[in-house]
C-alpha cells in the first residue's frame, strides 16, 4: 500500500525566542511541499533555530512588513474616527499631522481613531500636544494616551490586570476572578473592547495585541523601576523570586 504523503501548512505568529521556535518546529525536516509562515520581531531566530541548521536546510524567503502608505493610513484613521474613509471638513490639517506621527502603524492608527471618535478639532490638537510631550516610542505614546483616557480607575486597573496576568485566559473564568476582587467587569470589559485595547478570541479567551500588553506592563514597571516590591503587580518569575528572597512585601493591587 502506498504510504500517505503528509504535507503541512503551519503558521507561527509572534515568535519571540529561539527556545520557543525550537520547541514548536523541532529539528527534523518536514515533508517536501510543506510550508511554514513565521512572524517575529527578531528575524535572526529563524536562522538560528535547529531546523535551519540541518543538512537539508529548507528553502525560505524573508519579507519585511512595512507600514501603511499615507493614503491607507488616512483611510484607517478616518474609518475609526469618522466611520468613513474621508475626513470631515475642518479636520484635514490635524488629520495629516496625526497620520505622519503614527508612521503607518495600523494598531496606532486604529487605537487613536477610536480615542478621537466624536471629538472636535480642538481636542485633536490637544491630543497632538500630549503626544509630543511623551519621551518614549511613538507607538507607545499613542497607546499610553488611550490608556490614560479610560473613563475610570476601575477600567485602567482592569487593563493592567489583564495585561499582566490574564491574556489568553478564558473570559468567564477571568471575570469571575476579577469580580471577586471587587473589579467592575460588567462595564469595564466592554469599555476596553470598544477602545480596541482588548478583544475576545474564538475560544472565549482574552486577546491583547503584544504592543498593548507590553504597554500595560511598562506602565506597571514604571511605578518603581528599580524596586519591584513597590509595584502594584508582579508577573515575572525572576523578579517575584527576587522579592521573596529579599523578604520584601510587594504592594500588590489585588
Over residues 33-65, the pLDDT tens digits come to 888 898 887 777 887 888 877 756 677 788 877
Residue 225 predicted with pLDDT over 80: yes
Average pLDDT in the chain: 85
Distance CA 161, CA 234 (A): 10
CA 115 to chain centre: 16
Please report, for the chain, the start and end positions of each structural domain, with discontinuous segments joined by +.
9-53, 70-148, 153-245
Q: What is the tens place of the pLDDT at every residue in 155-170? A: 999 999 999 999 999 9
β strands within the chain, DSSP E: 9-15, 35-40, 199-200, 206-207
pTM recorded for the entire structure: 0.70
pLDDT bucket at 250, cuts 50 / 70 / 90: low
Q: Give the angle 132-137-11 at the CA atoms, nearest 5°.
A: 140
Quickly count: other Cβ atoms within 10 Å of residue 71's Cβ. 10
Distance CA 166, CA 168 (A): 6
What percent of the chain has pLDDT above 90? Answer: 42
Amino acid at each position: 500500500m502506498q504510504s500517505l504523503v503528509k504535507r503541512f501548512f503551519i503558521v507561527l505568529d509572534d515568535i519571540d525566542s529561539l527556545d520557543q521556535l525550537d520547541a514548536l518546529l523541532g529539528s527534523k525536516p518536514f515533508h517536501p511541499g510543506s510550508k511554514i509562515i513565521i512572524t517575529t520581531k527578531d528575524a535572526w531566530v529563524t536562522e538560528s533555530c535547529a531546523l535551519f541548521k540541518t543538512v537539508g536546510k529548507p528553502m525560505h524567503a524573508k519579507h519585511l512588513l512595512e507600514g501603511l502608505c499615507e493614503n491607507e493610513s488616512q483611510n484607517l484613521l478616518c474609518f475609526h474616527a469618522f466611520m468613513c474613509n474621508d475626513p470631515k471638513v475642518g479636520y484635514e490639517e490635524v488629520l495629516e499631522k496625526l497620520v505622519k506621527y503614527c508612521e503607518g502603524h495600523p494598531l496606532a492608527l486604529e487605537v487613536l481613531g477610536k480615542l478621537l471618535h466624536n471629538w472636535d478639532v480642538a481636542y485633536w490638537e490637544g491630543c497632538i500636544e500630549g503626544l509630543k510631550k511623551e519621551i518614549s516610542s511613538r507607538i507607545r505614546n499613542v497607546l499610553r494616551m488611550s490608556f490614560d483616557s479610560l473613563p475610570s480607575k476601575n477600567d485602567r486597573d482592569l487593563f493592567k490586570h489583564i495585561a499582566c496576568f490574564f491574556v489568553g485566559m478564558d473570559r468567564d473564568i477571568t471575570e469571575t476572578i476579577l469580580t471577586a476582587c471587587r473589579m467592575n467587569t460588567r462595564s469595564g470589559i466592554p469599555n476596553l473592547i470598544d477602545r480596541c485595547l482588548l478583544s475576545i478570541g474564538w475560544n472565549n479567551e482574552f486577546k491583547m495585541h503584544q504592543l498593548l500588553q507590553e504597554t500595560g506592563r511598562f506602565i506597571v514597571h514604571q511605578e518603581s523601576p528599580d524596586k519591584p516590591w513597590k509595584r502594584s503587580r508582579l508577573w515575572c518569575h525572576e523578579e517575584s523570586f527576587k522579592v521573596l528572597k529579599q523578604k520584601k512585601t510587594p504592594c500588590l493591587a489585588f
